[in-house]
Amino acid sequence: MAAAADEAWCRETVPRVMELVSTRLPQREVCALLSVSPWCHRALTSNPKLWEVLDLHEAKKAGERLISALSLARYRHLKVVNLEFSQDIDDRHFLHLKEMGAILLEELEFLNLNACQRISDKGIDAVTSLCPNLRALSIYWIVGLTDTSIEHTVKNCKKIMDLNLSGCKNISDRGIQLVADNYQELKKLDITRCIKLTDDALQEVLQKCSALESLNLYALSSFTDKAYTKIGYLTSLTFLDLCGAQNLTDYGLTCISRCGSLTYLNLTWCVRITDVGVVAIAQGCRSLELLSLFGILGVTDTCLEALSESCSKSLTTLDVNGCTGIKRRSSSDLIEMFPFLSCFKVHS
């Protein structure tokens, strides 16, 4: 009787407990649980929800591990592959997966290749051809990629809604034009430090991708009001990072104030801005939760008074460090005007 009870415990209770616990564990720990017993292995591998994410970020021999994982039946319903900062992965691994033929990641929605520096345009073609229903692609800081990668992506993946090109310094206007022409339902775009881009390309994106909710233009100093004024067309925009927009003027910022849904606005080092532009933001963007004016010398207490009238109940982060024209910028002064503030520094 005791032996039968022990066997039932091992066959049924332990695997069920492991299955419940596994939903709260990192995937690497879930994989370790597979070796507890044959019954645990069977219970865990038969639960598809546990294998929707393949997390190999910062992993060594990531290319070999990726190929090995995708050969297992349990990963056939993957939704997320994370290879951010992983090591030992290059074009060869993606080309091998493509040549295998049997692997098609039809359910994959998010692919993170951030900082996988050994991947080239050829690798992007191979990997995007495997996931036709991809909705989010992040290729941050793969500096060798060119417009050819964008060509491959728009050809292979028609449903992209979230595109991170941050640090891809060789992407030019031609690549961004492809984005504008093919992804008009795009929700999120990050072109941080894509330094070859001009006003003409940005205007195309702003006019054609009018559903954008998040736009990151961090560290792009060459754009002018010719493009910035068109940001005002983005009525659904909630996140806008303009850090370092040295050519943005009060006129451009006034046009941006038409984005009434903004909750995050980074104007750090937008050195041509004065109270006029910030007052316009205060009047038009009444749901701001984060605002950085760091390093702007042309703003004074006047803009804070305008902000306090419209955003005092929403602002939780306000950075006015380095704004020497603002006299009431101590923490106590700011909390008096914005009682829900909890953070006073965006940039350190």
| Number of alpha helices (DSSP H) and beta strands (DSSP E) in the chain | 15, 11
Span 98-126, average pLDDT: 94
Span 4-29, average pLDDT: 61
Per-residue confidence band for 14, with pLDDT thresholds at 50, 70 and 90 = low
3-class secondary structure, 171:
coil
More confident position, 114 or 23: 114
pLDDT in tens, 238-263: 999 999 999 999 999 999 999 999 99
Model confidence at 306: pLDDT above 80: yes
The confidence score (pLDDT) of residue 182 equals 98
Model confidence at 6: pLDDT above 60: no
pLDDT in tens, 133-188: 999 999 999 999 999 999 999 999 999 999 999 999 999 999 999 999 999 999 99
How buried is 333 (Cβ within 10 angstroms: 0-12 exposed, 13-18 middle, 19+ buried)?
middle
Span 126-136, average pLDDT: 97
Span 43-49, average pLDDT: 76
List Cβ neighbours of 30 (8 Å cut-off, separation of 6 or more): 22, 44, 50
DSSP code of 63?
H
Span 258-274, average pLDDT: 98
The confidence score (pLDDT) of residue 283 equals 98
Span 3-20, average pLDDT: 57
The confidence score (pLDDT) of residue 13 equals 60
Per-residue confidence band for 31, with pLDDT thresholds at 50, 70 and 90 = confident
Span 277-305, average pLDDT: 98
* Nearest to 194, CA basis, from 149, 236, 132: 149
Model confidence at 104: pLDDT above 90: no
pLDDT in tens, 132-144: 999 999 999 999 9
* Helix (H), strand (E), coil (C) string for 32-53: HHCCCCHHHHHHHHCCHHHHCE
The confidence score (pLDDT) of residue 344 equals 95
The backbone torsions φ and ψ at residue 216, rounded to the nearest 5 degrees and listed phi first, read -115, 110
Kind plus residue range of the DSSP H or E element containing 112: strand 110-112
Q: Rounded to 10 degrees, what is the CA torsion of 153, 156, 158, 159?
A: -80
Model confidence at 191: pLDDT above 90: yes
The confidence score (pLDDT) of residue 134 equals 98
The confidence score (pLDDT) of residue 281 equals 98
Encode 170-190: b = buried (16+ Cβ within 10 Å), e = exposed.
bbbbebbbbbbebbeebbbbb
Helix axes 121-129, 147-156, angle to 10 degrees: 10
Per-residue confidence band for 18, with pLDDT thresholds at 50, 70 and 90 = low
Model confidence at 279: pLDDT above 80: yes
pTM of the predicted model as reported, rounded to 2 decimal places: 0.93
The confidence score (pLDDT) of residue 42 equals 74
pLDDT in tens, 49-74: 888 999 999 999 999 999 999 999 89
The confidence score (pLDDT) of residue 9 equals 47
